[in-house]
Amino acid sequence: MSHAGVERASARPWTDRAFDAIPLAPIWVSSALALALIGLWALTIYATGEFAEFMERDVRWWEQRDGRLGILIALLTAYLPSARRYEETGTRRNLEGLRTAIAWPPGRFEASSRSCLAIDPDRRRIAGLLSMLAVPLTALLVDRDPTLYFQALYWGPAQLWSWGIGSLLSWNTGVLVYTVSRHARGFSRLARSLPEVSLFDPDRYAPFARRGLRAALPGLIFLAFLAPNLVDRGWVWAIAVFGSVAVAWTTTALLVPMRGIHQRIGETKRTELARVRAAIEGDLTALEASAIAKRAADVSLSDLLAYRHFVQSVPEWPFTAPLRLRFLLYAAIPLGSWLGGALVERALDSALP
């Protein structure tokens, strides 16, 4: 391997290199990791005697903060490596879709796609470190008593698990957010480097929408994982803060990859409508640069009116019908989870004094 190849390989996260070496789909690797983490958590609290305390309490395990968080943190920690892997493979797949669907001038796609995939390992590391601050922030929002953390009685196995594995979870979240942000901005720049935009076949730009949906999925899943904490009133402030951040981030991750193509389609529509409007008013030379220039000699007023309606109806966001359905299915993930969590909380309020 060349020196440049060694540098590129070393810049890739160890999780990507691990997935390259494991002959399993990422989701199965994460499933095995989730089982291992939950097993380790259960073994730890069993060995320290906390499991017996959990079973003796009068409330179910998901109503107990330590038990609930232990499971949720394990599941999210196991999920994030797969999310990062699918982020990488999805990005490359959508780039390949754009490369084959569009007639690019020589060399332009290669230069633009390299910029799209570029990741700064130092900034990625900083993003991971800064995200680890979410662990003490969550604790403060939930407990609202910083003196707790200086008391020996507070630090049991469940708390050490939440802080330790939670820090790993936060690190991976920061790395994922940074990577998604870089790729999203890269796709937006890539759209601005398109040689031209066709209004007759907007489906060819669907990879921009697929990229946005893929980027938004982890945020939606994170929102779904917040829902079980609705049964815990101590989590109100934490849910409000991190729920708001997740909504803002998910919206940004969805829209930014499509921002460039949205602007290009809008600009193309406005330019074409101006030409058609001029032709309707009698200036047929305005169609010389139009998409229907080859048919300008035979076009009638009714044709121009129909063409104007067609141009106006072209969507400026590259969502095909299947992608709109996928968006609704994705949006149902946190909605169903939060609705279920709210119903559980309401049922508990009615059943308990």
The dihedral over CA atoms of 149, 154, 159, 163, expressed in degrees to the nearest 10, equals 10
Residue entry with tokens 């469940």: 158
Return d(Cα 78, Cα 37) in angstroms, integer.
8
Return d(Cα 239, Cα 223) in angstroms, integer.
9
pLDDT for position 63: 65
* pLDDT surpassing 60 at residue 62: no
| 136-162 residue pLDDT tens | 999 999 998 899 999 888 888 888 999
| 33-48 residue pLDDT tens | 999 999 998 888 888 7
| 334-348 residue pLDDT tens | 877 766 545 544 444
Return d(Cα 67, Cα 169) in angstroms, integer.
17
pLDDT for position 350: 47
pLDDT for position 55: 61
At 107, list the tokens.
């060399």
Helices assigned H by DSSP within 145-235: 157-192, 206-226
At 201, list the tokens.
């076949």
pLDDT band (50, 70, 90) for residue 21: confident
> What Cα–Cα distance (Å) separates residue 211 from each residue in 88, 92, 237?
11, 10, 32
Say how many residues make up the chain: 353
Provide mean pLDDT across the span 290-313.
90
What's the whole-number average pLDDT of the chain?
A: 85
| 64-113 residue pLDDT tens | 778 888 889 999 999 999 999 999 899 999 999 999 988 888 888 888 88
Q: Are 242 and 226 in contact (CB under 8 A)?
A: yes
At 38, list the tokens.
């939950």
**Cα 211–Cα 215–Cα 217 angle in degrees, nearest 5:** 120
| 252-263 residue pLDDT tens | 999 999 999 999
> What Cα–Cα distance (Å) separates residue 215 from each residue in 185, 191, 256, 330?
12, 17, 10, 11
| 296-307 residue pLDDT tens | 888 899 999 999
* pLDDT surpassing 50 at residue 2: no
pLDDT band (50, 70, 90) for residue 271: very high
Return d(Cα 246, Cα 48) in angstroms, integer.
35
More confident residue, 127 or 45: 127
